[in-house]
Amino acid sequence: MKRARVAYAGTIQGCTEHPGGVRLDDGRVVAESAVVWLPPVETGTIFAVGLNYADHAKELASARPQEPLIFLKGASTLAGHCARTRRPSGVEFMHYECELAVVIGRAGQNVSRAHALSHVAGYTVANDYAIRDYLENYYRPNLRVKNRDGCTLLGPWLVDAADVPDPQCLELSTAVNGKITQRGNTRDMIFGVTELIEYLSSFMTLGPGDVILTGTPQGVVNVNAGDEVVTEIEGIGRLVGSIVDDAAYGIAPAT
């Protein structure tokens, strides 16, 4: 099953797919364009994994990590399907990152790889934008690279784990203004979903709603205000976003 969270007529509701748009939990069917899409889950801790595809590490001229490169993201970074993301004035290189997002459904400590998937509630699509201008190095990511308001889109749907037999065999792609610029497959992760759950739970408790962003393959390109960016994962969903400048985002110029 696929489920989402939306805002409609002053309320926040869950919804499912419907030929006429989306069916809200209160039974009403409304057009997709009539709702404001929210991240499909109320998140706990948000973990992001850097350089988790060998081809992407090579693309960025970085060494292959020997253990997962993990950093945390704040709640204000999240936005939903069809959201706008700000490109600050003066930056030289801002890019998307299409990622499989793993949502934890059952708490666990010291979870083995063999039992890791039993702790997963489901999967969704993430687009985790980065501004390379602000990067110090890949093992000490500057907060401005990955923790800006609205820089991480999640959605549209949370797909039940039972409906994804193998999370390590999913095609990923990104299109900018209708042109495919990135392709990859989750089988090429350096550290797979079960390894990441085992690693994280070895030193901290994972809880329901925690989200693991599992990294992106090669093919990242610069995006600019006015661009439409679509990140898609086979069987999980198609996540649409757009890039806007400071003025369109409501940021006044510095005085």
Confidence of residue 130 (pLDDT cuts 50, 70, 90): very high
Check residue 153 and give its pLDDT: 98
Q: What is the CB-side half-sphere exposure of residue 133 using CA atoms within 13 A?
A: 10
B/e letters for 138-149, b = 16+ CB within 10 Å, e = fewer, are beebeebbbbbe
Q: How many CB atoms sit inside 10 A of residue 8's CB?
A: 16
Q: Quick one: pLDDT at residue 213?
A: 98
CA dihedral 206, 155, 164, 69 (to 10 degrees): -50
pLDDT of residue 245: 95
Cβ atoms 57, 215 nearer than 8 A: no
Q: Is 36 helix (H, G, I), strand (E, B) or coil?
A: strand
Query: Average per-residue pLDDT in the chain?
Result: 93
Quote the pLDDT of residue 62. Answer: 65
- pTM of the predicted model as reported, rounded to 2 decimal places: 0.94
Q: Is the pLDDT of residue 148 over 80?
A: yes
Paired residues of 53 in beta bridges: 189
The two most distant CA atoms of the chain are separated, in Å, by 57
- Closest by CA position to 116, among listed 193, 227, 184, 34: 193
**CATH number, span 1-37:** 2.30.30
- What does DSSP say about strands 120-128 and 171-176: parallel, antiparallel, or unpaired? unpaired
Distance (Å) of CA 89 to CA 39, 68, 92, 229: 26, 32, 9, 19
Helix (H, G, I), strand (E, B) or coil at 187: helix
Same CATH fold assignment for domains 1-37 and 39-245: no
Q: What single DSSP character describes residue 119?
A: G
State residue 255's pLDDT score. 47
AA identity, residue 241:
G
Q: Among 64, 46, 39, which residue's Cα sits nearest to residue 214? A: 46
Tracing tokens 């990511």 back to the chain, one arrives at 141
Average pLDDT over every residue of 65-82: 93
Distance CA 128, CA 83 (A): 12
pLDDT confidence tier of residue 134, bands split at 50, 70 and 90: confident
Tell me what the mean pLDDT of segment 73-95 comes to. Answer: 95
All structural domains of the chain with their residue ranges: 1-37, 39-245
Q: Report the alpha-carbon distance of residue 230 to residue 125 in Å, rounded.
A: 10
pLDDT at position 129 is 96
- CATH fold for domain 39-245: Fumarylacetoacetate hydrolase; domain 2 (3.90.850)
How far apart (Å, rounded) are the C-alpha atoms in residues 182 and 68? Answer: 23
Q: Which of 7-21, 68-82, 126-140 has the lowest mean pLDDT?
A: 126-140
